């Protein structure tokens, strides 16, 4: 079966794909004709597709986020590849295909990532900090298994959020070993909590964010998570004025570093500075790694990466 990243102009192919987007549009012929404007994806990437000969039944059959079997022809349209769909049908149970195989995923199993996060939480020594972390994690328990970390910016795939947390925990552990003056409990807790409200900020399915929620737009994941810490403290009977509550709120509120990046306060504890830097290092190197992974080997340059000052990355031969 042809993977999307390997499609070449003039290829004819038959295979299963995830119907990621799907909309009825009209040609500007006279009279206008309906067609379906589609985005197909698999674990290797995604591609735009046109289904010119959509019937009325077709229009009522296909909806986003379902698996389909497609026969198509790869063409070039305005410098980009595009599929002309020749045949398409909904995949059935008999086809034996599994939707999870058709979405980009973190390179580590979600279950292992969540396990690693739980282990880290379990290793927090300070009882109040641990309890608050557990309370907040419980609020998004199942979403943690599959949510991406962002819409497009970085770790934008199945279990991307858990992957981001797990890698940051590894890096955080190293940094705490290198610099023992840092409070390792706070670093761990900060890593687990800093993006914990993202699943409430965005609506996602199969690792794909379709939109921001009203709550996500009006409050944002930073103030949401800070509110969860307040909520946890109240439920756990931890005084709101106590140092752990202040410190956890601070590291979460400050993790974007600057006001223009969404943090209402700037890092003013060593652990808040460290959390911001660990987050930034992991997110940005992941952007680079993802961009290189999804750019065909033959291309020396990735597309421009918005989170890296709109720069493209050069693939060295060294």
- Burial of residue 149, with CB atoms counted within 10 A of its CB: 0-12 exposed, 13-18 middle, 19 or more buried: buried
State both tokens at 297: 């080997």
For residue 307, the minimal CB distance to a second copy (Å) is 10
Closest residue by Cα to residue 49 from 31, 23, 79, 27: 23
Alpha-carbon span 37 to 79, nearest angstrom = 18
Looking up tokens 């952007």 gives 287
For residue 208, the minimal CB distance to a second copy (Å) is 19
**Between 158 and 228, whose beta carbon lies closer to a second copy?**
228
**Between 114 and 274, whose beta carbon lies closer to a second copy?**
274
For residue 149, the minimal CB distance to a second copy (Å) is 16
Measured in whole angstroms, the distance separating CA 249 from the mean position of its chain's CA atoms is 24
Closest residue by Cα to residue 279 from 177, 158, 150, 152: 150
**Between 97 and 129, whose beta carbon lies closer to a second copy?**
129
For residue 283, the minimal CB distance to a second copy (Å) is 10
Query: Helices 270-293 and 184-193 meet at what angle, rounded to 10?
Result: 50
CB of 36 within 8 A of CB of 25? Answer: yes
**Between 100 and 135, whose beta carbon lies closer to a second copy?**
135
- Burial of residue 274, with CB atoms counted within 10 A of its CB: 0-12 exposed, 13-18 middle, 19 or more buried: buried
For residue 212, the minimal CB distance to a second copy (Å) is 10
**Between 65 and 230, whose beta carbon lies closer to a second copy?**
230
CB of 36 within 8 A of CB of 58? Answer: yes
For residue 90, the minimal CB distance to a second copy (Å) is 23
**Between 64 and 100, whose beta carbon lies closer to a second copy?**
64
DSSP label of 267: -
Distances (CA, A) of 263 to 84, 219, 259, 260, 276: 46, 12, 5, 7, 11
**Between 91 and 254, whose beta carbon lies closer to a second copy?**
254
For residue 147, the minimal CB distance to a second copy (Å) is 18
For residue 8, the minimal CB distance to a second copy (Å) is 15
**Between 111 and 285, whose beta carbon lies closer to a second copy?**
285
CB of 262 within 8 A of CB of 220? Answer: yes
């Amino acid at each position: 079966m042809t993977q999307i990243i390997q499609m070449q102009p003039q290829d004819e192919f038959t295979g299963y794909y995830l119907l990621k987007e799907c909309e009825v549009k009209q040609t500007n012929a006279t009279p206008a004709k309906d067609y379906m404007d589609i985005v197909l994806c698999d674990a290797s990437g995604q591609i735009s597709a046109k289904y010119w000969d959509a019937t009325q039944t077709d229009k009522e059959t296909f909806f986003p986020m379902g698996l389909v079997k497609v026969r198509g022809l790869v063409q070039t349209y305005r410098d980009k590849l595009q599929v002309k769909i020749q045949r398409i049908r909904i995949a059935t149970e008999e086809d034996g295909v599994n939707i999870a195989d058709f979405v980009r995923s973190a390179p580590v199993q979600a279950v292992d990532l969540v396990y690693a996060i739980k282990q880290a939480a379990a290793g927090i020594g300070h009882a109040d900090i641990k309890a608050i972390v557990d309370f907040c994690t419980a609020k998004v328990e199942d979403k943690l298994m599959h949510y991406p970390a962002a819409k497009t910016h970085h770790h934008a795939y199945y279990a991307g959020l858990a992957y981001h947390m797990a890698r940051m925990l590894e890096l955080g552990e190293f940094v705490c070993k290198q610099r023992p003056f840092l409070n390792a409990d706070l670093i761990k807790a900060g890593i687990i909590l800093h993006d914990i409200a993202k699943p409430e900020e965005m609506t996602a399915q199969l690792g794909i964010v379709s939109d921001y929620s009203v709550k996500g737009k009006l409050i944002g994941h930073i103030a949401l998570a800070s509110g969860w810490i307040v909520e946890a403290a109240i439920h756990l009977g931890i005084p709101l004025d106590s140092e752990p509550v202040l410190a956890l709120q601070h590291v979460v509120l400050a993790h974007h570093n600057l006001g223009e990046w969404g943090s209402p306060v700037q890092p003013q504890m060593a652990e808040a500075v460290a959390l911001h830097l660990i987050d930034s290092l992991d997110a940005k190197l992941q952007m680079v790694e993802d961009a290189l992974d999804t750019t065909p080997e033959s291309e020396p340059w990735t597309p421009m990466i918005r989170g890296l000052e709109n720069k493209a990355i050069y693939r060295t031969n060294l």
